[in-house]
Chains A and B, each alone.
Chain A
């Protein structure tokens, strides 16, 4: 177990270091933050002071190594825009996205597993066809388009839901609904396929033969075995949810990590960009570990 964890940590760590190096140098190519933060007629002296304050007067390679040195002490630098520690800004935003992602994935997993199992159980029936059709549409819909159509219909047309921002429960409904669609379609397909295989297997026939009812057969016997491939997709989709979060958070003005990342790139707030990349990558690493642990819990044959 410990060896497995260590191996995973090393390989993720190497990926992350490469990413941080690439982004560090690429982001410096976008331009000097000084031009963005100081007025056009700022004096030469003011510019020099600004650069010295944020360490931008040093050669690039020196900046890089001093950044690495700070990282070792878990100092992620300071946000130029907000004049606060970058890590603080990022964790705040990340907490919003995490809530959004956890709620969405919980609803998606519950719905997709239930409906996918039911579809597999009445294979070829009317319910199966409807479920398959909607999951295909869901997997094909561009999220930004769904988001703005939803705003037109539910916020502008009916006036039921707020268009953007946070504050009440109502603000969460549209972002969650939009994020729900794509993973729901994909996971449902996998649950359905995996359940079809499981339902055709010998242990399910045994269960039926010894008189276990249909509901217990699906949800106790077949589902547990069918869950392994489903877990993989749920993991992939949970990570991919961050892709959707960029678009959805931008449209709904949601203060999460996706919006923060885009804003901070535009504002040349380099330390925030780098910190948000590292926090995101770390979260994905943790999630993958959890998925692997869940594998072992579901299938006693798997041991690390």
Chain B
């Protein structure tokens, strides 16, 4: 059904129609929470990219007179506006620098699990042989045990380096993509346009990558956005438990953990990095909600007609 819609829409497209980027921005503006989320995430990404370059020195400079400095003293340098940590390092600068590690680990884990999971899912869904039967069992094995517990056990045994954390988080998230992709492929490969491509003599890789993958991609992107939030929370929990990133490297979860002994006297040490985590995950959730509607041709009208009735 939906593929006939797209052909009709493509045929109607006249030269005056705005480009894809403009359409995208217009759809985003129709959903106010999603707009705020996108702006906030943009800010976080900027911090992650440029923070370490600009603020590395400031954020690791100890100042024992400014130990656990109280926040909201706007008379000082702006990096101290959120207060200082247990060694007098400026919290705001540290949060900006920590964004880099937090984002890098989550990006790596999501990218790896998305790539491996969806490739396996494509194979499992498309091949009718034994392989198609075996691969889903792999997902069952991983999913038979709570993911964070598994990560805890494995990370205690391996060295808690960035690479291992990404690896462990990626492995625990592979089933999500594998199952979704497989289920979608099983349905899509029976559709008329795939049959037509087979009849016209298209090779298997061409059918998978040119005909099937584009249909699944929006779903995968939506899930990946949501999963980014999950992976970030998992990484933070691991860092908090002390088996994630090790000092002097820093992530938001580790900052919360480092502030824990000072909870009663200096709440801000743990509060601000936690707030950074919560705002970022919230933004990702909002953006994923918006994507689910914006990337679905049959749902998109909800945003185009003012977005009042998004149920």
Contact = CB atoms under 8 A, between A and B. Distances in A.
Given A145-B270, A262-B152, A281-B144, A140 B285 contact: yes
Interface of B: 137, 140-141, 144-149, 152-154, 156-158, 229, 233, 236-237, 240-241, 253, 256-257, 260, 263-264, 267, 270-271, 274, 277-278, 281-282, 284-286, 309, 311
Contacts of B241: 246-247, 250, 262
Q: Considering residues B157, B264, B309, which has the most beta carbons from chain A within 10 angstroms of its beta carbon?
A: B157
Nearest to A27: B157
A281 B150 CA distance: 11
A57 B240 CA distance: 36
B215 to A, nearest CB: 23
Interface in A250-276: 250, 258, 261-262, 265-266, 273
Given A239-B146, A280-B145, A140 B256 contact: no
Interface string A1-18: 000000000011011101
The A interface is mostly helix, strand or loop, or mixed, namely helix
Q: How large is the interface on A (under 10, 10 to 19, 20 to 34, 35 or more residues)?
A: 35 or more
A175 to B, nearest CB: 16
Given A23-B153, A247-B240, A247-B241, A16 B256 contact: no
A137 B153 contact: no
A140 B141 contact: no
Q: Considering residues B153, B229, B281, which has the most beta carbons from chain A within 10 angstroms of its beta carbon?
A: B153
Nearest to A285: B144
A152 B278 contact: no
The B interface is mostly helix, strand or loop, or mixed, namely helix
B106 to A, nearest CB: 13
Contacts of A246: 148-149, 152, 237, 241
A277 B274 contact: no
B196 to A, nearest CB: 33
Nearest to A29: B157
Nearest to A185: B285
Contacts of A142: 233, 236-237, 240, 253, 256, 274, 277-278, 281
17 contacts: A15-B144, A15-B145, A142-B253, A142-B274, A144-B257, A145-B274, A149-B271, A151-B263, A240-B146, A243-B237, A246-B149, A246-B152, A261-B149, A265-B152, A265-B156, A277-B145, A284-B146
Nearest to A137: B282
A29 B155 CA distance: 12
Interface in A213-258: 239-240, 242-243, 246-247, 250, 258
Contacts of B153: 23, 26, 261, 265, 273, 277
A123 interface: yes
Contacts of B140: 11, 15
A277 B240 CA distance: 22
A282 to B, nearest CB: 11
A4 B140 CA distance: 16
